[in-house]
A and B are shown apart, each in its own frame.
Chain A
Amino acid sequence: MCPRERILSAAALLPLVAAADDSAEFVAPGIEEFFPDMIFGQPDGWFAFDRLMLVRLVVVVVLLLLLWLGARRITLVPGRGQAVIELLVDFVRVQIAETIMGKEKAKPFLPMLTTIFVTILAMNLASVIPGLNIGGTARIGLPLLMALWVFLTYLAAGARTQGLGKYLRNELFPPGIPWPMYLIITPIEIAQVFVIRPATLALRLTVAMVAGHLMLVLAFAATHFLIFEASAAMAAFAPVTLLGGFFITVLEIFISALQAFIFTILSAVYLNFAVEEAH
């Protein structure tokens, strides 16, 4: 086959990039990406420690270091590092907490919301940092912990401001509707408050990061495959997947910030349900 013919036949096969016209087989990334080998400990044990846990620890250390460096000497006229941190803290306070909950009610929850936002943002961004390459939030543990924190906090906040009974009555039996509707509404609201809210908080974040990571791996693994393992003609398509990989990287940065924002703003919305006066 002359080269020109090979390119043409490769073009015909493009929809089946993995189609084998030679022995190499493309292995698509799967869910096992998120369960790498243990560094130490047993997979089911208490101290299971794998690459993802290492990434989480690295992110925590870096985040604490940056925050400490920025907040070490707080001055009235902020320096450069302090200005960035103030921007971040101010964003959470003004754009998320105060617009959703109002100035006074937001105050007790500011440290929590800021912690959640900054932690999730940093963990998410680890998925595009070369060398780390996986988000700390890409496995359910950390998002679940955050969601449980929010869940317990809004129950406690509701119990404190309205009293537990009154809070649950307001949430589960929304006033102002004819009573037979409660047969339908109340079970839905029970599921909402106790299961759906925390579960979707955790799942949304995890799955968004899982999907982003899988797309990144797919793009770059395909590039590697096309250049080094597929036939020479197929290598012509490597720039396409490589550019796709860069595009997905930018998208992933955007999604990282968006998911941190959504998680925090929904937490604020749920907290607001708990602390606002009976509706």
Chain B
Amino acid sequence: MEDQGITGNIATVGYGLATLGPGVGLGVMIGQTQAATARQPEVSGQLFRNMIIGAGLIEVLGLLGLVAGIIL
């Protein structure tokens, strides 16, 4: 039996890990926004805007993982 290891860059695994946190964060935030919109549809515009702002702040964490994978 030939020795067949997985070849590639370990940074790929690192990026996979880096997406977990923002994934959870986005999930919680979007889910809560959905729940809040269902309760009070009249403020959905404001909620959506706040969600986008939050998405920007969370998303940068995942993108930082990508940067680290490329630079390091």
The residue that A99 contacts in the complex, of B49, B57, B63, B66, with Cβ under 8 A, is B49
Interface residues as binary, A239-261 with B (CB distance below 8 Å gives 1, 0 otherwise): 00000000000000000001001
Q: Is the beta-carbon distance between A265 and B53 smaller than 8 angstroms?
A: yes
| Bound CA span A261–B49, Å | 10
Residues in A lying within 8 Å of B, measured CB to CB: 31, 95, 99-100, 200, 203-204, 207-208, 210-211, 258, 261-262, 265-266, 269
Residues from chain B with a CB closer than 8 A to the CB of A200 are: 57, 60
Q: Is the beta-carbon distance between B49 and A262 smaller than 8 angstroms?
A: no
Chain B's interface size range is 10 to 19
| Bound CA span A207–B15, Å | 13
Residues from chain A with a CB closer than 8 A to the CB of B60 are: 200, 203-204
Q: Is the beta-carbon distance between A203 and B63 smaller than 8 angstroms?
A: yes
Residues in B lying within 8 Å of A, measured CB to CB: 45-46, 49, 52-53, 55-57, 59-60, 63-64, 66-67, 70
Q: Which of A31, A204, A265 has the most CB of B within 10 A?
A: A204
Residues from chain A with a CB closer than 8 A to the CB of B46 are: 99
Q: Is the beta-carbon distance between A203 and B53 smaller than 8 angstroms?
A: no
Give, as a whole number of angstroms, the nearest-CB distance from B21 to chain A: 15
Q: Is the beta-carbon distance between A204 and B49 smaller than 8 angstroms?
A: no
Give, as a whole number of angstroms, the nearest-CB distance from A26 to chain B: 13
| Bound CA span A210–B45, Å | 30
Residues from chain B with a CB closer than 8 A to the CB of A210 are: 66, 70
Give, as a whole number of angstroms, the nearest-CB distance from A193 to chain B: 15
Q: Is the beta-carbon distance between A262 and B63 smaller than 8 angstroms?
A: no
